[in-house]
Structure 1
């Protein structure tokens, strides 16, 4: 009996364990080899490029398929409304947590940095940025992961058009659903290479950026890393409990390990979309909900970025000897944190736009930009992990209020049901 139980645990966690082992080995190689570990980066780039290659068709097919096949447009409206509410509330919670943290341990206290003038600073035009974020001038521009919000909006509108076409659109809807299943199989094929790709990428990451953690930004790291990790484990556990009761906690963590590991290694919420869709399917999140929440969440739901935005704001206030106190200051910081999180592109380096927003809206001199940009680079791995895994648990919260408190029992059966076979098969 005990032997059978052990097999069940291994069957449930086999692939995440393999990923964690490969990540650990990669980290050790990075620590001992230092910058020389960058020679392994091409092996990681192969995996990253493969994930990015499928992301554009995957987002279009999954979102348009979900919208086209949804039984009621009223249900679509409820999903989108609940999703935005969940994203906003969790963003506020993460921002408030970091606000308290930076008051206890000011990240810039005792830090002395040489301010360097960047080569070029462009003034942020909020209206222009809004237009560029949500639209593109040419259809071909939609075929780029750099325009994810525009692609998502186009996918929703296309799905709506198919849905509204009635019987004439039925064949298109069925075709999109079939393509969605094909894309999921393609994801599984690419994930066979994940242990090698992620291990190599992580080795290069630690080898190149590891020493910076011991430099002048160490104090900020001491604040951010523990808080983000505690938020990851404690807040997400609470969210999973709210979403599905006690049973929701083990079900969530059983499925969330793979997207968490993928996101911390790739530093991209968008690259995590494929594995996140698989994870939420294993959790039992309905197809239409997961195929709307996960792709959109990868672009506009950024709990980790809200945490880092508050850290950056506090850090830059400290560098310029400005008091980071007062209700008005805190409220503005929370709003900017949420806004900067929502303008992220969901790809590595996408935080630069959010950092430009912070510098511009507070009126800091342009010298502040490279400082917080470097800070953003250092906090990016755990921030992306919180961002991406936050989408997983958010899809559960949306399901809770769409399907009722017993949704997980309806989807996965009785608590005694062994779903390890389903998990293994899906991997």
Structure 2
């Protein structure tokens, strides 16, 4: 079976039959509609919201099945503990590094200097909702929130960390019962085939979702919002690019793969994240891609969902940079100790911020609340451009989690490096001849993720 409807083995599919082409086309079309017909663009918001809801609907089953099957197949609970420990060590180090990078570059470039904003002119009511949400977020509440009310409530509410918690417990229990649990494991493996086939079906709606979401963004906020605070946006995007290509690029090189080839491999997912401003929209597809790239199911199941809450490089860069931008814009001089305090609080407040639109803004409010000299109302300065910042945050978070998955898999000896090299090859041979794992018999026209 071929994925190009009968093309000879080794032939490349026409570009117009690839998913990334249609997602890119949808983003451009959405931007044009939003710019020239802003009211129409705003009215298309339900298309983007609907697609994200479709994907979030399937995230809990994907995480649960991937983790349970991976842990049950591993059987060695010590290995599970090692993978988790290595993943969290990686998350802590690079999340902290991202905060430091944002802090340093904001001090060097000083994107807010010269704006001379009078704090009395700020509209505190514009950010009151975010401040209230941040106030309700505490470390104790976050930790207790990981435990679901019932065994199935995690699936009902779609909470990633609760689903992860239940899946780990269920997977460990299934591994401990041994052969008695074999029928359950086989049933879950069969169910996973159905679920991932459903993912393939839902991803066909990705261009529609990207079109609606991007049309809304441009229609609601306009290109003018970018021009007004161009210095901050440019600094943030450039810093994120340096972090991804420089720091994560060196990490990738040290672990035997190229960051550029990884980005090319994930181009469809990255475009989807760009169009929807949500890294969650591409979570199921990322898990599939990481397995195809040679990472074991157990590592993928543990690292990817956990990384979505604990490894948010883009959000961390944004928080320290945005906090200093607000202070600079209002001519507030922060001492070294105040900046270190901001850094330490950001390390805590960023944990548990799911990769969804707006989460970075809430965690920023929580961070600013501990430094009275910088009023939370100052967030009103960047409220109009947060949507554009959200796109960069999501792209950086997504790429960081992809790198983390391959690195942790390699550290644990759970990475098939030949499969990784084949998957990340710039022009892999036989691409069209390789069937889509999620495709059913006779389905030779499905748009695969690669």
TM score, norm. by length of structure 1: 0.86
In the other structure, the counterpart of 2:290 is 280
Corresponding residue to 1:307 among 317, 337, 356 = 317
Structure 1: stretches of 5+ with no match in the other structure: none
Paired residues of 2:65 and 2:188 also in contact (CA < 8 A) = yes
In the other structure, the counterpart of 2:443 is none
In the other structure, the counterpart of 2:79 is 75
Corresponding residue to 2:278 among 265, 268, 289 = 268
Match status 1:343 vs 2:340: no
The residue matched to 1:361 in structure 2 has which SS?
coil
In the other structure, the counterpart of 2:440 is none
Structure with the larger helix share:
1
Q: Structure 1 residues 92-101 or 391-400, which shifts more?
A: 92-101
Match status 1:192 vs 2:192: no
Cα distance, 1:37 vs. partner?
A: 1.3
In the other structure, the counterpart of 1:41 is 45
Match status 1:420 vs 2:427: no
Cα distance, 1:309 vs. partner?
A: 0.7
Alpha carbons of structure 1 residues 160 and 333: separation in structure 2 relative to 1, 3 Å: same
In the other structure, the counterpart of 2:90 is 86
Cα distance, 1:165 vs. partner?
A: 1.6
Match status 1:103 vs 2:107: yes
Partners in 2 of 1:31 and 1:41 — Cα distance? 14
Instruction: Give the 5 Å matches for 1:7-406.
Output: 7-8=11-12, 14-111=18-115, 112=117, 114-118=121-125, 121-122=131-132, 123-124=135-136, 126-139=138-151, 141-145=153-157, 147-211=159-223, 213-214=225-226, 216-245=228-257, 248-249=258-259, 251-326=261-336, 328-363=337-372, 364-368=374-378, 370-371=380-381, 376-403=386-413
Cα distance, 1:308 vs. partner?
A: 0.5
Alpha carbons of structure 1 residues 381 and 411: separation in structure 2 relative to 1, 3 Å: closer
Q: Write out per-residue CA displacement over residues 66-109 of structure 1, whole angstroms, 9 at most, x where no aligned residue.
A: 22222311221121112112222222332232223212221322
Partners in 1 of 2:362 and 2:70 — Cα distance? 30
Structure 2: stretches of 5+ with no match in the other structure: 1-7, 438-447
Partners in 2 of 1:218 and 1:176 — Cα distance? 50
Alpha carbons of structure 1 residues 54 and 303: separation in structure 2 relative to 1, 3 Å: same
Alpha carbons of structure 1 residues 146 and 177: separation in structure 2 relative to 1, 3 Å: closer
Alpha carbons of structure 1 residues 382 and 242: separation in structure 2 relative to 1, 3 Å: same
Cα distance, 1:295 vs. partner?
A: 1.5
Paired residues of 2:33 and 2:215 also in contact (CA < 8 A) = yes
Cα distance, 1:366 vs. partner?
A: 4.6
Partners in 1 of 2:158 and 2:9 — Cα distance? 46
Q: Structure 1 residues 25-34 or 180-189, which shifts more?
A: 25-34
Alpha carbons of structure 1 residues 407 and 314: separation in structure 2 relative to 1, 3 Å: same
Alpha carbons of structure 1 residues 373 and 129: separation in structure 2 relative to 1, 3 Å: farther
Partners in 1 of 2:66 and 2:433 — Cα distance? 21
Alpha carbons of structure 1 residues 136 and 384: separation in structure 2 relative to 1, 3 Å: same
Q: Write out per-residue CA displacement over residues 208-252 of structure 1, whole angstroms, 9 at most, x where no aligned residue.
A: 12345246533321321222234334444333322224xx44641
Partners in 1 of 2:255 and 2:17 — Cα distance? 22
Cα distance, 1:313 vs. partner?
A: 1.7
Alpha carbons of structure 1 residues 162 and 263: separation in structure 2 relative to 1, 3 Å: same
Q: Write out per-residue CA displacement over residues 105-126 of structure 1, whole angstroms, 9 at most, x where no aligned residue.
A: 2132223263223356544463
Alpha carbons of structure 1 residues 317 and 337: separation in structure 2 relative to 1, 3 Å: same
Paired residues of 1:259 and 1:389 also in contact (CA < 8 A) = no
Partners in 2 of 1:353 and 1:360 — Cα distance? 11
Alpha carbons of structure 1 residues 164 and 344: separation in structure 2 relative to 1, 3 Å: same
Q: Structure 1 residues 74-83 or 363-372, which shifts more?
A: 363-372
Q: How many residues align?
A: 420
Q: Structure 1 residues 348-357 or 387-396, which shifts more?
A: 348-357
Q: Which has the higher contact order (CA 8 A, sep 6+)?
A: 2
Q: Structure 1 residues 338-347 or 287-296, which shifts more?
A: 338-347
Cα distance, 1:188 vs. partner?
A: 0.6
Cα distance, 1:51 vs. partner?
A: 0.7
Partners in 1 of 2:311 and 2:401 — Cα distance? 7
Partners in 2 of 1:329 and 1:174 — Cα distance? 55
The residue matched to 1:284 in structure 2 has which SS?
coil
TM score, norm. by length of structure 2: 0.82
Partners in 1 of 2:360 and 2:380 — Cα distance? 12
